[in-house]
Every structure is written in C-alpha cells, then in structure tokens.
Amino acid sequence: MAKLNEGISQIKKGSALETMYNRLLTGMEQASHETLPDFTGSDYVDGYVVNEEKINLEIHEYENITRKNSAYLLANTIISSLSSEEGGGSSTGGFVSINGDSMTGLLKALYGFTAGDNGITIIDVYQTSENNPQDRKNIVSINGELHLPAHGLYINGQNVISYDNDLITLNGNVICSGYIKLGDLEISNDGISYQGNEFYHSGNSNKEDVNWTMKDGTVTGNLSVKGTSTFQSGITALHGVDLGFDNTSVLAISAKRLAQLTGDLNIVTGGIQFDGNYIIHVKNNNVISFSASNKILNLGDDNTKQINLQTSIYDDDGEYEMISKFGSAYFPESFKAGHNLGNILIETYKKSSEDSGVIFRRYIRLKSEDGPGFFSDGDSVFFEAPFKYNKVADDDTVVISETIKSSFGYIESLSLYAPLNRKSSSLMFSTDADFFVFDKPIEGKKSIGIADSKTRLLPNELFFDDSIYWLALDNGVKHYGNAFFVNDIGSVTFSSGFAGNGWGIIQNKLTGNITATFDDLTIRKKMRIYELEVQKQSVTNGSWWVSDACSGDLVEEIS
C-alpha cells in the first residue's frame, strides 16, 4: 500500500517549497486526467485485424503531449518560484533574484568571478591557462582605484605599508631592481650619487691614474695588480702559489705540498725525471718514451674513470696491430683469459697447422650468467637450461625455475647388430628431463632401433624379432608371426545391427562374450555352431505385421 511522505506535513506555510509543491501537484493532477482512447473500437480493429500502426501512432502522440506538458509544468513552476518576491536572499526561500537582491550568507565563486558597476568590469578574478597546472598563475585584476584604510597593505599576515599623518611607513626590507630617488639623492645598482657626484668609500676611493711609491708595504688583504709586475730579485712564496695567464690558473702550489697543473706542459727537449731517471723522455721528433726504471708502470688507478685509446697498439716489431682504438684485438701468439684472478676460462691452442682452436675451461653462458649454458667433463658435452612453470601458492601464482641438464657423448654400442670384428660406438643423448620432444620427424638413413634389442625400424619394415615383423605392401601391411589382440578390432567406422555399417569383433564389457559382425561370411570347410539364432526382416509397401500372437481390443482413429 502506498505511504505518504512524512516531509509533506512539515512544509512551512508561505515558503518557496510550499509554492513549488502546490504548483507541481496541481499540474500533475491535471496531466493525470488525460486518458488514452478506446483501442477496441472499430477505428482500430477491423474484424480480427488490429491496426497496430494507428494504435502505436496514437500512443506516441499521447506520450509526446504528456511529456511536453510535464516539461512546461516543471520549467514554469521553477521560474515562477525563483522570480517571486519571496525568493530573495533575505527571505526564507534562500534564492537570489536575478533582478537584484541582498545576501545574508556566504558567496562562493570558485570558477571565476567578475564584478563592477554600471555595466563596467572593475574587479576580475581568474587563472591563466597553461597546460601544466604548476605553471598557472592566480590573478586578481582591478580596473580602477584601490582605497585602503590607514593600516594600509598586509602581505603574508604582515602590515608592510601603513599611512598616518601624511607619513608612509615601510615595515621590512626593500629590494629594488631599478633605482630609488629622494630629491637630489639617487641610489641604484651602480652606487650612490648626490647631484650627479659619486660617493667614494672603501670600495672605490683609490684612482687608477694615481701612482704610488713606497719603501716597504704590508698588505693585510689581497693585492691585485692589473699591469706588469717586475721582480729584480728572488721571489719567496712559502704559503702557496697560483700562476696562470689571462685570468686563468695554470700552476698552483697548495699548502699540502701539492703542485697542480691545469694547463699544458710543453716539453721541447728532455722530459720529466723522477729520482734522476726519465719518466717521460722526448728522444727525438718521432719517439717519446714512457718508462719506470726498476719500477712498475701503471696506467690509471682505483679512481681512474677510464683509459681511452686514440691510436692502435702494435707489437715490438710494429708488424701486428694487437689492439685498435676501435676495440678490435689480435693476439698472434696465443690468447688466455680468466675472471677475478681465478683459473683460466678460455685460451687458444695449436698442435699443428690442421689442429688448432679455442679451449673453454668452464661454462659457455648465453644471454646472462644465469642463462642456458654448455660445459664438458672431458668425455661428454653437457647442456643446461632453466625449466620455468607457474605454481599457485596461497592464492598467488609464482614462477618456479629449475635447472635441467642434458648431455651427449660417445659410449660403447650395445646394439645386437654391431660389427663383431671391432669395438662399435654409439652417440648417446641423456637428459634429466622426463621426456624427449621433437617438433620435426625423426629420420635415419638406414634404420632406427632400440639398444640391446632386435626391435628396429627399416624402410617399409618394422622388426620385433627375426621372425616377427611387419612388412609394408602397396595396398596394406603383411604380418609375420602370431597376432594377439587385447581389446576390440574392427573397421574405422562401425555400428552394429541390421542397418549398421563396417565390421567389428567386440567383447561385451558386461558378459565378456565376443561378438563378430560382418556383412557376408563365407566358410569353405567345417563350421561348428553350439547355438544358432536366425533373424529375418521383410518389408512391404503396406502394413504387414508378422508375430507369434496378436490381438486388438480397441481401434481409435487419429486425425
């Protein structure tokens, strides 16, 4: 049963809600009086034929009119309620009239705000439209005068400008990118001047066109000389030296007894010595030697980022290019390589001009140090690779990775057909995996067999023993030896019964009896039958029923 909404009884008398509710209720009651025509009349039903097209057209027109009446009712009610006198901000309705009104509540305009007077914009609040939200600027634009009280302007909670008795007070530091002018006094980035005359202070009190002569001088700060300095005696600088050219340091000696060269050192003849021996020696215009007499010559240390080759490295005779500047390498004698000061992992060898190659002492890894790899124990070649599969644990699927090994090598042959006058070998494949899978056919040039067995496959022949085998003919397979069948045999398609097809010798799973079905059976000699059952089916064009006994008590005609 329908129940009236409790809020209807709580509507305040004279409120905008009561006005809108009464108007909507009146309009809906009027709309409910509209009725559909009687679609069972002769205008819509002609005998047993119903004019569905006309009925659908009438229903569509009825729905269209009802829909338009409801839309007009809702729009007229809302507009009438909002434009009424009781819709103002000061009334209980809570609406602001479009023709002017006053507000007693909070005004929010979070998507832009424009205000003014007499049709002219005075204040405008907006945000710029950069693509990156962090680059957008929030702007308040004022087109007119801004009047502030005596306390002036507050920024970040601080009263930065105030005005009292014709006195403007600035609270805080003032940073100016231009200049400040107070009468004839001007302050700018270039200095302070009064009536065009520059103020002199400790930063600019000495003139460049003034010569100074002194006997002794002590400079407690820095001494800067722009011209040429000439010393007619020795120079002592026991607390550091910084020498250079064009205001750029070239040679610096620090307090840590360290000389630092940041420019070029041009050696015309001679070189650089250590303990009386040349480290770098310019022998002539074509040869420069790097050496460390009775010492070890290192190129780089632990802090060296990299050593770059700008040219190739040759052997002592200059005949073979051993390492090029682009990274190619050639070792004419031999090559050995290891890892982390460990054993040799790879090396070259040469027994003769025909027997030479590369020896891999340990693994050959592919793609990564955990990837598939090859290695040898000296007799066989091993291959290992990860075997990955998914496993569900605690409702989560995790990837499990196991390493599977396989190998191949030569062993003494176990074939029963091996030569008897010498040792026979076989290539053996072994794997820790459960199965071998080949995605292409397996072919042998002569035969495929099983070790230590006479079972083998030859062209058109499958041998199980010397006297038991299958021989392929042009139109079938010839079977040598007895044939024993565990289960049924028959044609590719078989169905039993008189109208069936194919043939079959089938064992009844319930009784264990064997049933044979053929289309024709010819026995040339003796046939022994313990029980004979003959079934005959005859068909005529009419109704013919042959039975041991038949009777009818009731005949009923079926239309």
- Give the integer Cα–Cα distance in Å for 197 and 185: 10
Question: What does each C-alpha distance from 399 to 2, 100, 306, 368, 388 come to in angstroms?
Answer: 61, 72, 40, 19, 7
* Chain segment 59-84, per-residue pLDDT in tens: 888 777 777 777 777 767 676 655 55
Reported confidence tier of residue 493, pLDDT bands at 50, 70, 90 = very high
Sequence-distant (6+) residues with CB within 8 A of 233 are none
- Fill in the amino acid letter for 256: K
- Give the integer Cα–Cα distance in Å for 81 and 99: 14
Strand order in the sheet with 396-412: 364-365, 373-376, 380-393, 396-412, 425-431
108-122, 185-199, 324-338, 415-429: lowest mean pLDDT where?
185-199
- Give the integer Cα–Cα distance in Å for 361 and 424: 29
Q: What is the CA radius of gyration of the chain?
A: 56
pLDDT at residue number 318? 81
The yes-or-no verdict on residue 432 having pLDDT over 90 is yes
The yes-or-no verdict on residue 2 having pLDDT over 70 is no
Strand order in the sheet with 514-517: 489-490, 504-507, 514-517
Percentage, residues of the chain above pLDDT 90: 18
**Which of 304 and 543 is assigned the larger pLDDT?**
304
- Fill in the amino acid letter for 390: N
Burial class for 107, CB neighbours closer than 10 Å (0-12, 13-18, 19+): exposed
pLDDT at residue number 212? 61
Structure-block tokens of residue 428: 């053996």
* Chain segment 243-275, per-residue pLDDT in tens: 888 888 888 887 677 888 888 888 888 888 888
Structure-block tokens of residue 149: 């009280």
pLDDT at residue number 543? 66
CA angle 507, 512, 517 (to 5 degrees): 30
- Fill in the amino acid letter for 450: I
- Give the integer Cα–Cα distance in Å for 469 and 85: 113
pLDDT at residue number 417? 84
Question: What does each C-alpha distance from 361 to 226, 312, 336, 343 come to in angstroms?
Answer: 70, 30, 11, 9
pLDDT at residue number 511? 92
- Give the integer Cα–Cα distance in Å for 259 and 251: 7
pLDDT at residue number 88? 40
> Are 385 and 374 within 8 A, CB to CB?
no
- Across 312-328, average pLDDT: 86
How many CA atoms lie less than 13 Å away from 228 in the CB half-sphere?
2
Reported confidence tier of residue 32, pLDDT bands at 50, 70, 90 = low
* Chain segment 511-526, per-residue pLDDT in tens: 999 999 999 999 999 9
- Whole-number average pLDDT of the chain: 82
Reported confidence tier of residue 303, pLDDT bands at 50, 70, 90 = confident
**Which of 477 and 42 is assigned the larger pLDDT?**
477
pLDDT at residue number 179? 80
Instruction: Give the pTM.
Output: 0.39
Using alpha carbons, select from 506, 477, 475, 472 the residue that is nearest to residue 489. 506
pLDDT at residue number 520? 92
- Give the integer Cα–Cα distance in Å for 131 and 141: 22
pLDDT at residue number 202? 52
Reported confidence tier of residue 89, pLDDT bands at 50, 70, 90 = very low
Percentage, residues of the chain above pLDDT 70: 87
User: Which DSSP letter does residue 302 get?
Assistant: T
